[in-house]
Structure formats: C-alpha cells, structure tokens
C-alpha cells in the first residue's frame, strides 16, 4: 500500500468537498426524495382549475329558529253543573261543527224546574190580564164618580204589581232554560274532538274535564329569535316551517310579535299561522322555522365551494389573463349552493371553484372546465 503523506503547509480539500456534497444529497433525499420547488417555480407552473362566473340573484335574509306547533284554538269541555253523563254526541278524533252537542247530562230535574217556572209565568200573566181589565173599567167609572179615588188607586197598584210579577217570572224562565242548557255541552267552534276521558253513566262534578276540542287548520307555530335579529320583524312577514322527514317546507305568515323582549333570555317571542288543510301538522310537534326577511335584489353571488376561509377571513381566486389573483371578499346571506358576496367582487368576474387550494396569489392557471355561471336566471328563491 502506498503511503499518503501530508506536505507541510498544504490542506487536503478534495475529500472534504466530496463529503459535503454527499451530505447535501442525503439531506435532500431525506426531505422527500426530490428537491422542493421555489415560490418562483410555483408561479411559473400552469395549474389546472375549474372556474365559473360570479352572477346576480334576488336573495332573502332568513332567521332560523326551532318552533313548536300549537292548535289555533283549544277548548276543554267541562260541565258547569254536577250530573250524570247520559249521552255522547261525538266519536273520538271526529271533526265537528260549532254548536254541535258533544255531551249530555241527565237534565230531568232541570227540565222540571223549567216547566214549573213556565207555569208560574202563565199564572202571573193571567193575573195581569185581570188587573188590566179592572183598571180599564175603573177609568171609565171614575169619570162618573161611580168609583172612589181610593178604589181606583188600589186597582192601579194591583196592575203594576201584576206587571212586576210577570217580569219576575219571565226572568225565572230564562234562568231555568239557561240552567237546563248547562246539561248539554256543545262545541264552541269548528274543530276536532279529542279523547273521551269519562264513560257514559258516570257522575261528574262541575269543572270535570270530559274531552277537548282543537282547531288545527290553521296551526300556530311559536318560536323565539335573538333580540339583535329582531329589527324589521313585523306581522305579515312570510315564514316557512320544515318537519323532520318532510321534503317540502310549508309557508305561512307571522301573526304576532311580542311587544317586549324577555329580560332574562334576551329573546323575542313570535307566533305564526300555518295552513293545515291536510292535517299533516299536529300540535306539539317541533319544527324548523325560517323567517323570511328583507328581499335583496341583484346581489352578487358565487358557488359556496369558491370561497376559501383563511385566517378568519374569506377569499376567492379571480382569474384574469390566465393568472389567479387572491382577493378578500365579504360574505352576506346564504342560500343552498351559493353565497352572497357583499364586497370585493363584481358580477361577471371569473372565479376558481375547484383547485384553488393548490394556488397562491399570482399562480398561472389553465381553466379546464367552466361551470354554468350564476348569471341572473331565476337563481335565488323568493324572487
């Protein structure tokens, strides 16, 4: 083996250079096998993207809430008198008209009391007829002094007493008829009768609940919204409710806005009316409520997927002359599949809707496909 001698004053550079080169190569391989491209190289690449044009649409702001359905009217059928149930005039779940007799109590005693009151009235009216005839005769006789003044005044007093007796007995008859009617419980309005809670033949006390009746067309929806969203909320505004499992929402109107905000929850209570001719909505159900507010016309809209959230802001990539420029935008109302751009973008500008996550500001792009734009064509419901 040949000896290798270091000469005084000289350095061995070649082995050190080879070692340094080898170390750099190994480091590059350890970082992924290929050298990373610089930002300048990224800008030089042409990246494929899918784009669309920003369009315009009429949009409505909506307030979302969870609501509960209630019957538009509800009444409990309770007797005002004690008695025994003698008959029912309905079937459970049946729809009845206002005034229909639902429950009958044994009214035999009340009917007898009415008959007695009518008999007393007949007697009082007969006495009144007699008193009237006597008074009329005395008026003719007193002119000829055939009847004393005292006797005439007595007959006049008898007539007035008979008149009062008739009025008293007429009132007694009306009271007896009213008490008799209390034994017959009728529907206070058109509606659907609930369950029969007591069987026929049972004795019930005054105020005992026997059944109930509900008016469910329309139904009411009760819900609450935050006080900070209550500006512009007013009676008559359109609202929509969605039931779990239902495909189509049902439209109604706002009927009541509480004049005050709940001091504890800071919520504003609202009520709406929803048509229910088919009986699909039942009191007690939970529903999703969308209160439709202000109609915004000709608003700039983009597909939802075009928006890139980053660092608490919203961005889109606008394509101009084959270059993608990152632009901050302000967002507004949302509709299924699209979102309003309130600032930072004009209608007709081309934006990237797919592939933007590989882009940086100033990247060169090639548009492979263009999605149909959102140019004004009936997009945006509630026009």
* All structural domains of the chain with their residue ranges: 42-59+296-370, 64-72+215-295, 83-104+184-209, 107-182
CATH number for region 42-59+296-370: 2.40.420.20
Question: How does DSSP assign 94-138, residue by residue?
Answer: -EE-TT-EEEEE--HHHHHHHHHHHHHHHHHHHHHHHHHHHHHHH
Helix axes 149-181, 108-142, angle to 10 degrees: 160
Architecture of domain 107-182: Orthogonal Bundle (1.10)
For residue 212, give both structure tokens: 């109930």
- The pLDDT confidence band at residue 62, using thresholds 50, 70 and 90, is confident
Q: Are the beta carbons of 225 and 270 closer than 8 angstroms?
A: yes
Q: What are phi and psi of 253, to 5 degrees?
A: -130, 150
Where is average pLDDT lowest: 63-77, 231-245, 276-290, 365-379? 365-379
Q: What angle do CA 140, 142, 146 make, to 5 degrees?
A: 105
CATH number for region 83-104+184-209: 2.40.50.100
Q: Are the beta carbons of 309 and 295 closer than 8 angstroms?
A: no
Q: Return the residue matching tokens 């009676």.
A: 235
CATH fold for domain 64-72+215-295: Elongation Factor Tu (Ef-tu); domain 3 (2.40.30)
Q: Hey, is 32 helix, strand or coil?
A: coil
Q: What are phi and psi of 380, to 5 degrees?
A: 65, 100
Sheet holding 101-105, edge to edge: 184-186, 101-105, 83-88, 203-204
Q: What is the mean pLDDT of residues 139-145?
A: 73
pLDDT for 43 equals 55
- The pLDDT confidence band at residue 32, using thresholds 50, 70 and 90, is very low
pLDDT tens digit sequence for 243-271: 888 888 999 999 999 999 999 999 999 99
**If residue 156 lies in a helix (H) or strand (E), which one and from where to where?**
helix 149-181
pLDDT for 346 equals 93
pTM over 0.75: no
For residue 344, give both structure tokens: 């930072």
């Amino acid at each position: 083996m040949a000896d290798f001698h270091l000469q005084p004053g000289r350095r061995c550079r070649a082995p050190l250079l080879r070692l340094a080169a080898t170390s750099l190569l190994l480091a590059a391989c350890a970082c992924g096998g290929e050298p990373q491209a610089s930002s300048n190289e990224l800008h030089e690449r042409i990246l494929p993207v899918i784009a669309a044009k920003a369009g315009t649409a009429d949009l409505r702001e909506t307030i979302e809430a969870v609501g509960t359905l209630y019957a538009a009217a509800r009444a409990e059928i309770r007797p005002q008198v004690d008695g025994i149930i003698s008959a029912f005039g309905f079937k459970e779940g049946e729809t009845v008209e206002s005034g229909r007799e639902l429950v009958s109590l044994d009214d035999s005693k009340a009917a007898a009391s009415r008959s007695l009151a009518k008999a007393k009235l007949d007697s009082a009216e007969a006495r009144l007829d007699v008193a009237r005839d006597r008074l009329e005769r005395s008026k003719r006789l007193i002119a000829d002094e055939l009847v004393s003044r005292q006797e005439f005044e007595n007959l006049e007093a008898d007539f007035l007493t008979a008149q009062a007796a008739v009025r008293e007995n007429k009132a007694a008859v009306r009271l007896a008829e009213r008490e008799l009617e209390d034994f017959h419980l009728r529907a206070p309005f058109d509606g659907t009768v609930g369950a029969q809670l007591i069987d026929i033949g049972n004795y019930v006390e005054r105020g005992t609940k026997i059944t109930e009746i509900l008016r469910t067309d329309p139904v009411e929806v009760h819900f609450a919204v935050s006080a900070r969203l209550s500006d512009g909320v007013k009676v008559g505004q359109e609202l929509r409710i969605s039931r779990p499992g239902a495909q189509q929402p049902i439209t109604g109107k706002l009927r009541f806005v509480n004049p005050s905000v709940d001091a504890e929850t800071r919520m504003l209570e609202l009520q709406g009316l929803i048509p229910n001719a088919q009986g699909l909505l039942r009191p007690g159900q939970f529903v999703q409520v969308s209160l439709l507010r202000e109609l915004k016309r000709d608003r700039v809209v983009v597909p939802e997927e075009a928006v890139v959230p980053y660092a608490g802001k919203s961005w889109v990539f606008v394509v101009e002359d084959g270059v993608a420029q990152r632009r901050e935008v302000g967002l507004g109302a949302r509709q299924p599949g699209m979102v309003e751009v309130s600032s930072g973008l004009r209608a007709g500008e081309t934006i990237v809707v797919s592939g933007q996550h590989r882009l940086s500001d100033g990247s060169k792009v090639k548009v492979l496909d263009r999605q149909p734009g959102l140019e004004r064509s009936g997009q945006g419901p509630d026009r």
